[in-house]
Structure 1
Amino acid sequence: MSVTSCLPPEKPALNKGEMTQLLDIAREAIRSHFSDDLPLPPQLDLYHRKLRAKGACFVTLEVDGTLQGCLGTVTANEPLVIEVHNKARDSAYQDRRFMPLTEEQLDSLTIEISVLSEPKLLSVNSEEELLAYLEQHKVGVILTEHYSQAVFLPQVWEKLPNPAAFIKALKQKAGWPMNHWSPNVRVKTFTITQMKGKYFTPLA
């Protein structure tokens, strides 16, 4: 299990213990699907106020290192513990890109929780200015124009380390031509606190 924190200094990062609690919430949300238990949301009064506060997150699932589901939100609308619970279940069973997770896959399942900082509007006048900024800051990016939006988590930099390739792929995800840019494009950036762990934790 590994934990990485890259939230901005003005917003304290969640510590390892708190991220471990979120990972446990995701495990339980997935587990309840395969049991007779009702899929009850987390009981808020059992958690620290930081975890009860509204928060945005993504939950990413991999089976044998292959993506199995990834859903989340960039807007903090629900208490973080509730959001993690809901997005874990959504990623496992509602991501339309993949078949629903099966019980046979649980042995090889890895869960990654990414808690987002509040996205901040980045003032750039051109795509060139954006690329210059991203050369120095490998952050998460949200591109919006009218009703179209696309998001890449900071983890995408591992596969697309070149800013030009990163933004082209993000525009393609939004359904735009790869050479598209206009004064109506809005850019927001964010960082994350993340933790990754296996579904089945090893015995001590």
Structure 2
Amino acid sequence: MDMSVTSYQKFNKGELTQLLDIAREAIRGHLSTGVIKTPQLDLYHKKLLAPSACFVTLEVNGQLQGCLGSTVAYSPLVLEVHNKARASAYEDRRFMPLTEDQLDDLTIEISVLSEPQIVDIESEEALIEFLSSHKVGVILSNGNKQALFLPQVWKQLPKPQQFVRQLKQKAGWNAAYWSPNITVKTFTVSRLKGKYNTIKGKYF
């Protein structure tokens, strides 16, 4: 079976810092004026204008406040980041919309995804064995159900069995479910995290 690991998408800290600034401006603009002002595309390098999938994760005092994204990009990366940042702050239905008094404790993390690659997995046991040595992002899908965990989730769920179990439950399956029709895709991310008020990020 093909167990190749997805290679990292190459974005350096300077490029990711620009994306972090875009996310901050999207959030600040919505709060301060309510006017949706999209990034001026001619200010950015062509690499940041290519369509790329991303997720934007928001935390307040270390607690998740919003996380939205996509595995498929249909617009330039700078616009994807802008739109996902605004959506994570104000449209994630799991949370109340972000408020101004939360900004001092807000952190933003940008994750730019590599293109997900199908991994030929014959069983749940084979997936667990693979993940024991490859701490990558994973997408499970079957029919109309799908769930994704970013690589960062390994910090909260370090054991492969637990990681897979929680991912299945996120998709709407029970913990014991497995089917030969499940499609497994893996991906990696370039990511940068920083406080909203300073955006001095930690590069991964």
What TM bracket, shorter-length normalisation?
over 0.9
What pairs up with 1:55-134 in 2 under 5 angstroms? 55-134=52-131
User: What is the distance in 1 between the residues matched to 2:64 and 2:129?
Assistant: 30
Letter of the 1:141 counterpart: V
Structure 2 contact 113–188 (Cα < 8 Å) conserved? yes
* RMSD of aligned Cα (Å): 1.6
Paired residue for 2:161? 164
Counting matched residue pairs gives: 196
- Aligned mate of 2:171, from 169, 174, 178: 174
SS in 2 for 1:114: strand
User: How far apart are 1:41 and its partner, in Å?
Assistant: 1.1
Of the structure 1 ranges 162-171 and 40-49, higher mean CA displacement relative to structure 2 is found in: 40-49
1:192 aligns with 2:194: no
Tell me the percent identity: 64
Paired residue for 1:3? none
1:33 aligns with 2:35: no
User: How far apart are 1:81 and its partner, in Å?
Assistant: 0.4
Paired residue for 1:48? 45
Ranges in structure 1 where 5+ consecutive residues have no aligned partner = 1-6
User: How far apart are 1:122 and its partner, in Å?
Assistant: 0.4
Of the structure 1 ranges 36-45 and 64-73, higher mean CA displacement relative to structure 2 is found in: 36-45
Which aligned segments of 4 or more residues in structure 1 are displaced greater than 3 angstroms?
none
User: What is the distance in 1 between the residues matched to 2:33 and 2:162?
Assistant: 46
User: What is the distance in 2 between the residues matched to 1:161 and 1:123?
Assistant: 23
Q: Taking structure 1 as the reference length, what is the TM-score of the superposition?
A: 0.92
User: What is the distance in 2 between the residues matched to 1:142 and 1:113?
Assistant: 18
Structure 2 contact 20–199 (Cα < 8 Å) conserved? no
Q: Taking structure 2 as the reference length, what is the TM-score of the superposition?
A: 0.92
